[in-house]
């Protein structure tokens, strides 16, 4: 500890030094015999404690105190004012200016040593407090850093789970695209043949017109030419071709539109969710889009029965809600497909509705249901009853995070073993509520 004694009396300085030394405290003692010296020393050195006489030959001790408090705060340097003045006003003024304590002159050794001990104890606590505060600050910044990393990892996990779901669906989606593409290609081949025939007939007509325009042409040969073109029309079944072309074109257009729809959905599904944006969306639209992506996984084993409510709009992240719907649909389909002795198709009932606060979606299946002991665990990360390599157990925990943490809603499951499962989620319609819960 570094102590500065400010007093004009060498005798008092000696006395204080003596008392401090007798306490066997580890400290360096400095002295200033007037106010000016004291100010100079305080501005150039670090002290833990200043024992300050109020009555000094040059500057008043209170002025010195004022200076000390301008450069060092209350907790940093302890100031004990020493006064033989009986006036309480001086004492009050000292405390107003930032004195920590006072001692009356003549100084009694026991009084000074007890105050010094108290200060040492306080300084020690202060030191410990400062250390733990710094430690806490350091830990806090580590925590902030870790939270940011965790958030990053979580976002990455959500994205990679989505990509893995898309990966699982890829073969099915390819099949879904292949079907319309197949008939589009066939239609174009047929249209090409029709076109060749029509070109052939048009060419014959052109020749016919040239011949007609030729003055040397004899009237008797015109009849033959007409018959020739008519025969060609019959041979090519031109009536049928003309009727068939609009139909073929319509089918082709629809097929291409379907392909484009699937590709668009897939693109939107894969991309959205990355940007943390919420837009006003129709929940029914999101479900339809997801069904399009999952169609191939469902169509052979499952019949989907839909009952869409009206005005099921809310501010949502479209990709994220699509991901939740896809997770639940895939789970239901997988549960149904896993029933070995099932003979008929399974059913998935999708229902949406709303009230004044929430939009709701229920996806119910008539698969094997969920065992009671598992029901409370299915939303835990990595909880899966599927074989190794078949499920990561992340689908529902990510869905929970999306609905509860990112949209301020709720998600829950109702199930009885042997009687299928029902997954229900609700999302607040109110924009502000959704935004508020976003963090």
Half-sphere exposure of 178 (CA within 13 A, CB side): 7
Q: How many CB atoms lie within 10 A of CB 182?
A: 11
In degrees to the nearest 10, what's the CA dihedral of 43, 45, 48, 50?
A: -60
Cα–Cα distance measured from residue 71 to residue 64, given in angstroms and rounded to the nearest whole number = 11
370 binds ligand ATP (CB under 6 A): yes
Pick from 37, 393, 433, 437 the residue near ligand ATP by CB under 6 A: 393
CB of 324: closest distance to ligand ATP in angstroms?
10
419 binds ligand ATP (CB under 6 A): no
> Residues 193-222: x/- map of binding to ligand ATP (CB under 6 A)?
------------------------------
Contact call for residues 57 and 8 (beta carbons, < 8 A): yes
Question: Rg of the chain's alpha carbons, rounded to an integer?
Answer: 45
> Residues 67-96: x/- map of binding to ligand ATP (CB under 6 A)?
------------------------------
272 binds Mg ion (CB under 5 A): no
Cα–Cα distance measured from residue 144 to residue 419, given in angstroms and rounded to the nearest whole number = 46
Question: Kind and range of the H or E element at 279?
Answer: strand 279-282
Cα–Cα distance measured from residue 65 to residue 85, given in angstroms and rounded to the nearest whole number = 17
Contact call for residues 263 and 177 (beta carbons, < 8 A): yes
> Residues 321-340: x/- map of binding to ligand ATP (CB under 6 A)?
------x---xx--x-----
Contact call for residues 80 and 50 (beta carbons, < 8 A): yes
302 binds ligand ATP (CB under 6 A): no
Nearest residue to ligand ATP by CB is 395
395 binds ligand ATP (CB under 6 A): yes
CB of 419: closest distance to ligand ATP in angstroms?
11
CB of 415: closest distance to ligand ATP in angstroms?
7
Pick from 30, 67, 353, 383 the residue near ligand ATP by CB under 6 A: 383
Q: Which of 120, 102, 101, 81 is nearest to 1 (CA)?
A: 120
> Residues 306-335: x/- map of binding to Mg ion (CB under 5 A)?
-------------------------x----
Q: How many residues bind ligand ATP (CB under 6 A)?
A: 22
367 binds ligand ATP (CB under 6 A): yes
CB of 327: closest distance to Mg ion in angstroms?
5
Q: Which of 262, 261, 379 is nearest to 327 (CA)?
A: 379
Cis bond upstream, residue 111 (ω within 30):
no
367 binds Mg ion (CB under 5 A): no
Burial class (CB in 10 A: 0-12, 13-18, 19+), 300: exposed
395 binds Mg ion (CB under 5 A): yes
385 binds ligand ATP (CB under 6 A): yes
Pick from 42, 325, 421, 427 the residue near ligand ATP by CB under 6 A: 421
Cα–Cα distance measured from residue 328 to residue 379, given in angstroms and rounded to the nearest whole number = 12
Q: Between residues 177 and 403, which has the closer beta carbon with respect to ligand ATP?
A: 403
378 binds ligand ATP (CB under 6 A): yes
Burial class (CB in 10 A: 0-12, 13-18, 19+), 243: exposed
Cα–Cα distance measured from residue 415 to residue 261, given in angstroms and rounded to the nearest whole number = 35
252 binds ligand ATP (CB under 6 A): no
Residue numbers of the site for ligand ATP (CB under 6 A)?
327, 331-332, 335, 365, 367-368, 370, 374, 378, 383-386, 391-397, 421
Q: Which residues bind Mg ion (CB under 5 A)?
A: 331, 395
């Amino acid at each position: 500890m570094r102590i500065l004694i400010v007093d004009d009396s060498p005798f008092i300085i000696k006395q204080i030094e003596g008392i401090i030394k007798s306490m066997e405290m580890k400290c360096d003692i400095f002295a200033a015999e007037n106010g000016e010296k004291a100010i100079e020393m305080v501005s150039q050195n670090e002290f833990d404690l200043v024992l300050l006489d109020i009555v000094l030959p040059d500057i008043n001790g209170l002025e010195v105190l004022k200076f000390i408090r301008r450069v060092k705060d209350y907790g940093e340097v302890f100031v004990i004012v020493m006064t033989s003045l009986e006036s309480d006003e001086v004492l009050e003024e000292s405390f107003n200016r930032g004195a920590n304590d006072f001692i009356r002159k003549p100084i009694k050794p026991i009084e000074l040593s007890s105050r010094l001990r108290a200060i040492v104890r306080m300084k020690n606590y202060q030191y410990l407090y400062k250390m733990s505060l710094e430690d806490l600050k350091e830990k806090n910044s580590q925590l902030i850093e870790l939270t940011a990393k965790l958030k990053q990892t979580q976002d990455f996990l959500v994205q990679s789970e989505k990509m893995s779901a898309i990966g699982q669906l890829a073969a099915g989606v390819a099949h879904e695209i292949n079907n319309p593409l197949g008939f589009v290609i066939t239609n174009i081949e047929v249209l090409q043949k029709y076109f060749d025939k029509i070109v052939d007939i048009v060419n014959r007509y052109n020749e016919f017109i040239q011949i007609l325009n030729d003055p040397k042409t004899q009237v008797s040969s015109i009849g033959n030419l007409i018959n020739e073109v008519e025969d060609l029309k019959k041979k090519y079944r031109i009536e049928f071709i003309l009727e068939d072309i609009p139909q073929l074109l319509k089918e082709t257009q629809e097929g291409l539109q379907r392909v484009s729809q699937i590709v668009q959905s897939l693109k939107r599904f894969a991309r959205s969710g990355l940007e943390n944006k919420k837009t006003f969306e129709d929940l029914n639209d999101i479900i339809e889009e997801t069904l399009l992506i999952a169609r191939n996984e469902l169509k052979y084993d499952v019949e989907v029965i839909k009952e869409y409510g009206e005005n099921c709009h809310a501010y949502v992240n479209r990709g994220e809600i699509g991901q939740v719907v896809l997770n639940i649909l895939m789970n239901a389909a997988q549960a149904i497909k896993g029933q070995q002795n099932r003979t008929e198709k399974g059913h998935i009932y999708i229902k949406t509705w709303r009230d004044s606060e929430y939009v709701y979606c229920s996806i119910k299946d008539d698969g094997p249901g969920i065992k009671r002991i598992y029901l409370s665990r299915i939303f835990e990360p990595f909880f899966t009853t599927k074989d190794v390599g078949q499920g990561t157990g992340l689908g529902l925990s990510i869905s929970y995070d999306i609905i509860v943490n990112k949209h301020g809603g709720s998600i829950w499951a109702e199930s009885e073993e042997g009687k299928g499962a029902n997954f229900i989620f609700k999302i607040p319609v109110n924009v502000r509520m959704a935004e508020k819960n976003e963090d």
